[in-house]
Amino acid sequence: NCTQATEFNLAGFTEDPATQVTLFLLFLLTYLVTILGNLGMITLIRASPLLHSPMYYFLGNLAFVNLCTSTIITPRILVGVLLGKKGMAYAGCMAQVFTFGLFLATECFLLATMAYDRYVAVCHPLLYVLVMSPERCSRLVAGSYLLGLANGVGQTISMSSLFFCSSSSIHLFFCDISLLISLSTSDTTLSLVILRTASSLLGVPSMLVVLVSYVAIISTILSISSAEGKCKAFSTCASHLTTVSTFYGALIFMYLIPRSDTSRGGDKWAAVLYTVVTPMLNPLIYSLRNQEVKEAWRRLRKIK
């Protein structure tokens, strides 16, 4: 006996006014760094001929996806922290489920594609130009976006079949489909099937590609006789490995580790890690650890 929800109540981080101000400034700074870092990376990759290679083509698309993911989530956090507005309209929640599902899956496949790119570069360097041709790179990126679109559509269909009471509260700062399914008062069989199928067909293969690629990469690096050769080979993968570890580590903690409802306090901060922090860190990791990016930046500054 309840009416269909027209909005959802999103949990905040704290009720303490002083802490809210600190969180607002912290999230605002994080968002600004994310915008500047990812836009800067995209601009640098497009402007510098030194970075016109498959690796940076994928990185440019990853920066775009990070930019979109952060924009879907962080402004809503800022409004909630600053104004104390915790409600989100049902239509807004549907839109967030679709767009977040799209870009989350796209990022998974882009990271898998980048892992495959590094595998070919380290394990089969003589075939790299042939294997990672511009046409194949374009197809891999287009496939990542199409699979992300399929995930977004599937999650939206999953949510549209659910019924929620008007008092529904989500214990996160965004509309997460797994929590929405648990809150629904209707039959969730179809929604669970769609969610588990999407996780199995989209998430697991991308993680396996990353895992298998890096097992082969590490094996090849260890077989290199010179220490200088090992260092050079590992340096080409270090930035991507750092990004993958942060992203998948947070996702595994959030969705794959079983725990009771009373022990889910860390979910909110794990979600902050992969929705807010990781999009900010990615351009910093690649710019601070990558000599080619540093050299491209120096050349661009000299031209100006």
Per-residue pLDDT reduced to its tens digit, 192-228: 888 888 878 887 888 899 999 999 988 888 888 777 7
Please check whether residue 276 lies inside any domain of the structure.
yes
Q: Which residue has the higher pLDDT, 54 or 82?
A: 54
Cβ-Cβ contacts under 8 Å for 273 (sequence gap 6 or more): 246, 250
Query: Sign of the CA dihedral 12, 16, 19, 25?
Result: positive
pLDDT attached to residue 262:
44
How far is residue 53's CA from residue 47's CA, in Å, rounded to a whole number? 13
User: Is residue 299 pLDDT above 50, yes or no?
Assistant: yes
Domain contains 163: yes
Q: How many CB atoms lie within 10 A of CB 125?
A: 11
Cα–Cα distance for residue pair 108/257, rounded to 1 Å: 18
CATH of the domain at 188: 1.20.1070.10
By residue range, what is the domain housing residue 227?
Answer: 7-299
Q: What is the pLDDT of residue 263?
A: 46
278 occurs within a structural domain: yes
Task: Note whether residue 304 is domain-resident.
Answer: no
Q: Which two tokens stand for residue 107?
A: 């990022």
Question: For 3, which DSSP code?
Answer: P
Residue 2 resides in a domain: no
The C-alpha atoms of residue 153 and residue 100 are separated, in whole angstroms, by 11
Is 85 inside any structural domain?
Answer: yes
- How many domains does the structure of the chain reveal? 1
- Its pTM stands at 0.89
| Residues sharing a CB contact under 8 Å with residue 45, sequence separation 6 or more, in sequence order | 51, 52, 56, 57, 59, 60, 63
For Cα atoms 276, 66, 10, give the angle at the middle one, nearest 5 degrees.
40
Please report the pLDDT score of residue 132 as a whole number: 94
| Residue 172 lies inside a defined structural domain of this protein | yes
Q: Which two tokens stand for residue 95?
A: 């839109």
Question: What are 23-45's pLDDT values in tens digits?
Answer: 889 999 999 999 999 999 999 89
Within 10 angstroms of residue 255's Cβ, the number of other Cβ atoms is 14
- Helices 54-83 & 134-160, crossing angle to 10 degrees? 30
